[in-house]
Chains A and B, each alone.
Chain A
């Protein structure tokens, strides 16, 4: 019995273990929704002949797969490039010594505000936080113009927010804490709780609940809002805090990092440059309404320009640090 079983195991391993890696390739781990990131990577593959081996993850799965993989693989990286939907995760990886600096002609085209000081991550195509609403349940005129107003009694039980421990919502909360100070932000979040905020499992869930008419309005990202508008004419969105003296809305660029010790560093550089091009920004603007950071990039008419939005003044590095600091409090807040 034992020897037959040994034989079978040996054959299985021989058959399947023979898969060899191709040297002309690049391995990318991404938390950007696969429906948007995959076509870009396929285009790169087609245009350069470099095979892309991707591992996809998403906010919906709390980015557990990719982030934990990158951390666990630190001593022997498998990935060359990390493409994230926001700079927070790149910040976490940087603090753990997993990313390294990357500079090129393309990185020079990105405004300094959207890059890490030493180019450990470089931003491109940005999303913004918006209030998405169901036109059948609330009119645009009745929506709060500032996120501060969501705690008003007229919005009781009418607002939904994704779990603030994950995804871009964490980053948004960290930005709010940085801007308003701990006391002010905690007071506001407690106000949300008292006003019956509905916690959704993700930004996608916020979009779905509003679209279905389960909740009148919620806070989510522009790509979710645009996707909802493609699916239903009952949905609209506004940028909050656009008054001239307002705090502005949070702008979150995609962020790309070169992994320290990348096995295919040369190809990684080519992929990073490709992603940091105007062409990629145009593609992302068309597929998911992301706003280009490189000036002069062509975009469809319905995609707003960053120049027309009052942006929250955010120091991404400090916000990342703040995020780690407030997470235990956010966890407690969630369980209140």
Chain B
């Protein structure tokens, strides 16, 4: 009885901690908005213009999300369902655009466009924003759909083949089976695209996020900006709750294919497949990176040494904070996923979902207002504020990845151990944790890279004197020579690449070691 009470107390304490650190600041901000404004103007932001702008932004992001899902699914099909040479290389290389700031790629693509066509007018448009968002976010959809495709049981496809062609099997069996993965891919890209300020601002396209940002930064009109953010928040929450309601038991992203016998097809003419993947790789990664290299070499002097001097200290500090952040995000994701999958306690997951969909500027303002008090200054004045930021931004993604990992661990394993009288701690450490290790490791790597690149909220809350790589590049780029900025971006890219390669190496060992656990 006492143990049960203790369990509830610790569970309640953790939920309370998550609530106080991440959700309370947002709720207080909304309450301030509701109580602070003149009641007559409280909802005045809901005008015809606002609704039109919301519709335009939704349409723009939906198109980008649709295209990203299509391209990501095509890549996933080619790489996960066919036995292709160099598929490992393409899988890793096509993921890289996800790890660079969309703004930096927007600048590089625009310059590349100008370099090739001598004109950029077409780029400064809705089409430019859609193109950049599609190419930056499609790796996410490739990751999710690829994972889902790997888990489709071969029996379904073979049964289909007995009566229909490959094409029909693809559209009538395979794609419907991964519908949840397609839906969550679409929704995630939609939310990421809706929340992004930098690319539409660079291309001069007015979106709802720009409107919110303008109210914050040009007019300092918090009431209106928060009101508009709430509208955006409700919209995203509605979309994600629909996903949870209808697709909560569907695979989101699994790193593990234990128990599934997925079918992979041999291809005779690999050239066509390689050509398609190479074109995508060229447009999404090689062209912008090539432009960055050209720019970094185009100055009147080489800037790499100066760039390293500027970004070196920030790189070390960023890696340290991102590493700690990724640990916290992974641990919280594990706890939230465990509560949801094994205890049917959904609250931690819902809290993380709520913080995930909040626009980064609003999150920043909420955190400043909540944590900037004498008693909480040990958080606000230190890197703890950054860790909480990372938790709020990426905890949801971590919980979903690990949640799917837990789904694949048969509850019967733990039941059998329990019947044998093995203690919960031993069960967790000796059975569940080893089985979950690949999912935990992947979550950690993804969280690490996302933390390393987080800019939207970090730029608002990073403690004075702290240097972070994305913030430094963004602030230095304002007036530094293009060659210096490009050199710094390439160094940033190289740092991320080195860590990805190290993690890939470690991952191979871990996946091999735990494959038959």
Contacts and interface: CB of A to CB of B under 8 A. Distances in A.
A17 B479 contact: no
A211 B298 CA distance: 13
A16 B382 contact: yes
Contacts of B474: 58, 60-61
SS of B interface (majority): helix
Contact of A78 (B361, B372, B478): B372
Nearest to A207: B479
A67 B217 contact: yes
Contact of A16 (B14, B217, B383): B383
Interface stretch (A32-40, A112-120, A185-193): A32-40
Interface stretch (A139-147, A222-230, A266-274): A222-230
A269 B350 CA distance: 48
A175 interface: no
Interface string B318-344: 000000100110011011001100000
Given A166-B218, A201-B201, A5 B13 contact: no
A62 interface: yes
B477 interface: yes
B64 to A, nearest CB: 19
Interface string B420-433: 00001100100000
A64 B461 CA distance: 11
Contacts of B475: 33-34, 56-58, 60-61
B220 A60 contact: no
Given A1-B338, A33-B479, A231-B299, A62 B206 contact: no
B462 A55 contact: yes
Contact of A62 (B14, B218, B476): B218
A8 interface: yes
B383 A5 contact: no
A135 interface: no
Given A68-B217, A73-B368, A1 B335 contact: yes
Contacts of A327: 218-219
B382 A17 contact: yes
A92 interface: yes
Contacts of A33: 475-476, 478-480
Given A16-B324, A16-B384, A58-B475, A230 B300 contact: yes
A227 B485 CA distance: 13
A261 interface: no
A1 B206 CA distance: 47
Contact of B204 (A3, A201, A331): A201
B292 to A, nearest CB: 14
A20 B357 CA distance: 33
A227 B478 CA distance: 11
Contacts of B463: 53
Contacts of B206: 334-335
A212 B114 contact: yes
Contact of A68 (B7, B379, B460): B460
A23 interface: no
A17 B365 contact: no
Contact of A64 (B361, B369, B378): B361
B338 to A, nearest CB: 5
B305 to A, nearest CB: 15
Contacts of A12: 324, 327-328, 387
A33 B383 CA distance: 24
A54 B462 CA distance: 10
A202 interface: yes
A19 B383 contact: yes
Nearest to B432: A1
Given A58-B475, A92-B220, A201-B201, A17 B335 contact: no
Interface residues of A, number: 72
B270 interface: no
A27 B459 contact: no
B374 interface: yes
B460 A64 contact: yes
A230 B481 contact: yes
A182 B220 CA distance: 23
Interface string B449-461: 0000000000111
Contacts of A208: 482
B384 A2 contact: no
B55 interface: no
Contacts of A19: 381-383
A288 interface: yes
A60 B482 CA distance: 14
Looking at A1, A5, A51, the one whose CB has the most chain B CB atoms below 10 A away is: A1
Nearest to B339: A1
B384 A53 contact: no
Looking at A2, A62, A165, the one whose CB has the most chain B CB atoms below 10 A away is: A2
A244 interface: no
B328 A231 contact: no
B11 interface: yes
B412 interface: no
A320 interface: no
Contact of B479 (A35, A170, A211): A35
A166 B475 CA distance: 16
Nearest to A2: B10
Contacts of B17: 9
14 contacts: A29-B464, A33-B475, A33-B479, A36-B479, A56-B475, A65-B459, A68-B365, A78-B380, A200-B204, A201-B201, A227-B480, A231-B299, A231-B481, A327-B218
> Top 8 closest A-B pairs, CB basis?
A53-B465, A53-B464, A60-B478, A2-B10, A58-B478, A72-B368, A64-B217, A33-B479
Given A62-B213, A68-B460, 19 more contacts: A6-B10, A16-B382, A19-B382, A33-B478, A57-B475, A58-B474, A60-B475, A61-B478, A62-B218, A63-B217, A64-B217, A65-B459, A65-B460, A68-B361, A72-B365, A73-B368, A76-B377, A202-B478, A231-B481
Interface of A: 1-6, 8-9, 12-13, 16-17, 19, 21, 27-29, 33-36, 51-65, 67-69, 71-73, 75-76, 78-79, 92, 96, 163, 165-166, 170, 199-202, 204-205, 208, 211-212, 214, 223-224, 227, 230-231, 288, 327, 331, 334-335
